[in-house]
Amino acid sequence: MVGIMQNPSTNKHRSGHRTKPRYLRWFVLLAGLGAVSTIAITAAVIGAYYYVAPELPAAEAIRNIPLQIPLRVYSRDGRLIEEIGERRRLLVTYDDIPAHVVNAFIAAEDRRFFEHPGVDYQGILRAGFQLVISGEIKSGGSTLTQQLARDYFLSRDVDFTRKLREAFLAYKIEQEFSKPEIMALFVNKMFFGQRAYGVAAAAQVYFGKPLADINEAEAATLAGILPSPSFYNPVRSPKNARKRRAYVLGRMLDLNFVDRKTYDLAMDYPLVSQLHGTANELSAPYVAEMVRREMVKRYGEEDYDSAGFNVVTTLDSDLQRGATYALRNGLLQFTRRRGFRGPIGLLDVEPSVFDAPFEDWPEEVRIALGDYGNPGGLEVALITALNDDNSATMMLQSGEQAILPWHGISWARPFIDGETRGPAPESVTDVLAPGNVVYVMPITIGGYALAQLPEAQGAVVSMDPYDGAITSLAGGFDFSLSKFNRVTQAARQPGSSFKPFIYSAALEQGNTAATILLDAPVVIRSSELESVWRPVNYSGRFYGEQRMREALVRSMNLASVRLLLNKTGIGNTVRHLAPFGFGPAALPRNGSLALGGGNATPLDMAQAYATFANGGYAVKPYVIDTISGPDGEILYRAEPMVACPQCEPEAEVEQKTHAAARPLSDPAAARAIVEKIAAKIDYLPDEIEEPGVTRRLRDEARLALEQMADIADTYKPDAKVSPELFADVKLAPRVISAQNAFLIQDMMRDVIRRGTGIRARQLGRRDLSGKTGTSNDRRDAWFTGFQSDLVAVVWVGYDDSRPLGPREEGSRTALPIWIEFARRALEHVPENRMPMPAGIVTVRISKSTGCPANSSTDIADVMFEVFREDHVPVCEFSEDLPEIFNIDDDPSPTTDEPQEEEALF
């Protein structure tokens, strides 16, 4: 067999010839597949886009979608009172977000946020790989922008179509908004659990601090919450939150957002596991509820607390704090006088437990102690030991150990009933025992005193008498215990605090402050009252003939009843009082009207007393000053009617007043000076060639300006002189004359100088007028006081109308609260009382007869009294004409002793 030898070179050539087409074929195949894939993917993307495009909203629509922002209520000086709404949200801009907060969200959610165009291909590949492996969509690889798109426009369904919509919408958002804008939209929109929407609200809810103040550890905690707010929030699951925080901090370290030192500090930082409320700056919950109800009426249940409304009230934050403190302190003092009702609870704890640090106590004991609330600012303590010096050792809820000294315990005579108490305690064992849970309160000299929750309630409200603006309102001891607003809802008998209105009506019927009234027994048959009604004085005494001023100062019931029935008339009185703002319930058409036998709320009384304080105008109380939308647009502004004597076109120009108050006696001359100034200044040209002319004109203008400076503080033109200045003023209706208001004010100043309100003299002011009030059986205690800038009303009573107890009258129970409030409210307010109006004269009279004094009147019987000039009494036995004085000093005597407040019947 003959073999055939082949040429190696020829064989190599043939082999190479066969290999080259194979590589080429693979290249062509792969290139073709790539092209086809690219075309297919492009077609798929285009097709997918056109498939979902009709359902995609415009990205810019985000700008017009309002976030649910709660209603916020503020005082007039900008203090946050309350945030009302299901969702807590505080909007921030990108510049408001600290850099480490931004970095935390990027590390936790989207590390390539500032690089991708809204969709991160790496995330998509990762999601696709998981889909191939498991056959399910386990993670979406969503960017922050995609999450934003989903939360604004899409559902949370895990399906392929929704993911397509999310991706395309994210891309559109990236074309419409900058990265900082997207980040701000994201952190404001997201839900963080515990009703917190937006990172700023979450910082407040979880850490009790503004967003600008949170550190890296807290930022990581917030960023870690987002995947599952119920699972990762630190309040519900501190363990899960700590793990998630560690993950976020680790990512921040990997991405060089923090250095190793910062990372270590953040990892060691304690995780706070408690909720914090809204960062309220002023406690006025009763006003917040008033605002809430009004907003529901205006905007409906669905929108009032989610549309971002901001309401500015008329409250003054300093006066509001004063009202809250005065009421709580006064009620705590009252409940002390009624006796100690015992501890609020008992914890059965082994004595040995008390020897250990609080953190080592059994958890159930610590939880039980922490479950007690803190109404009215009271603190809760567990008595752990009684000491030889009659003090007690106690553990506060905070874990702080403190001493309760004997001087804070010794008041606790045991409560027996509404009328009586047990004997004074002789040692701490008479009051307390280890294991007792009690209320305590801090005291001004330091340390604590035993306290108890008052069963009685009260109310304080103050008002600006010139426009009715409510400047403070406390409707009860603690809103969390009772939402019943006693300022606006508790219609109670005003008792003797109603008498000034009876006396005002009497003045209108021709009576005077010197009219003689008989304070003696009276029997009245009335079908509306008892078959036979016998009103009495509180003291049980009868005072005989008394001047009308004295009857009001000493709050004489029998004299007041005779004044109503014999010298004024019930019909005349009711017609006179209705314009003050009283409703029918406050104006019974029988003799009890003289003693405040109707029903009125503290706000009714404040509104009515404002008429006396402002000189005779009926103003209406209001509490909402402005309402604005989330963009700051003013939607409502109050336009109250105001008390303005200068606004009355028919006002008398030449009113009698203090000489120092108006040195320029001729307003027309003052007006001429002002017009002269304007003419001189307007005439001055910009450039004058003759220096002498310029100098002369400027000298004349300077002289006119100096004249203006002399009158600037005192020249107050009225509507008769300058009607154009008052054209837009909404003038409140005048319901009593200035003379009537002045006379009532003057008589009520005597109530404070020497009557039932004498305790208020400690304030050291001469401009205060006021009246105490106590209803039948001491069921209600009142005090109302005012000067020209402020009216304030205090009421104390039980909600079930049981008696307050022995000696609990207006002067003892309500007046101290008013004094405490007024001390703060008027601390920096100059004295201001109504000047004596035209038509008022001062006359020397006989104290005993009320007639003008003459030469035969005993000097000890002489006093000064003020009258309307056409109502000076003329007595038959007067031998001389009355001597009339135009003086401004208070004419009333100060020798009479103060009397206790009168009860109703």
- Of the candidates 496, 560, 811, 846, the residue annotated as catalytic is 496
Q: Are 397 and 440 in contact (CB under 8 A)?
A: no
State both tokens at 653.
Answer: 């120009």
Residue 587 neighbours by CB under 8 Å, 6+ apart: 574, 577, 578, 593, 598
Secondary structure (3-state) at 91: coil
Q: Which residue's structure tokens are 């107050």?
A: 716
The DSSP call for residue 734 is B
Opening angle at CA 431, ends 426 and 435, nearest 5: 140
- The separation between the first and the last C-alpha atoms of the chain, rounded to the nearest angstrom, is 153
Count Cβ atoms below 10 Å from residue 253 Cβ, excluding itself. Answer: 18
HSE-up of residue 412 (Cα within 13 Å, Cβ side):
25
CA pair distance 737, 787, nearest whole angstrom: 18
Q: Which residue's structure tokens are 């603190």?
A: 379
Strand partners, 634: 628
Which of 281, 462, 301, 482 minimizes the C-alpha distance to 375?
Answer: 482
Q: Contacts from 861-864 at CB under 8 Å and sequence distance 24+?
A: 863/891, 863/892, 863/893, 864/891, 864/892
Query: What is the identity of the amino acid at 29?
Result: L
Give the torsion through C-alpha atoms of 504, 509, 511, 516, to 10 deg: -100
The DSSP call for residue 497 is G
Q: Give the CA radius of gyration of the chain.
A: 40
Q: Are 376 and 453 in contact (CB under 8 A)?
A: yes
CA pair distance 521, 530, nearest whole angstrom: 16
**Residue ranges in 177-316 assigned as alpha helix (H):** 179-189, 199-207, 216-225, 229-232, 238-254, 260-268, 285-303
Q: Is 115 a catalytic residue?
A: no
Residue 440 has φ and ψ, to the nearest 5°, of -135, 160
Q: Are 639 and 468 in contact (CB under 8 A)?
A: no
- Of the candidates 82, 83, 109, 218, the residue annotated as catalytic is 109
Count Cβ atoms below 10 Å from residue 186 Cβ, excluding itself. Answer: 21
Q: Is 109 a catalytic residue?
A: yes
Which of 452, 457, 433 minimizes the C-alpha distance to 441?
Answer: 452
CA pair distance 334, 456, nearest whole angstrom: 8
CA pair distance 248, 270, nearest whole angstrom: 16
The DSSP call for residue 804 is -
Catalytic residue positions? 109, 496
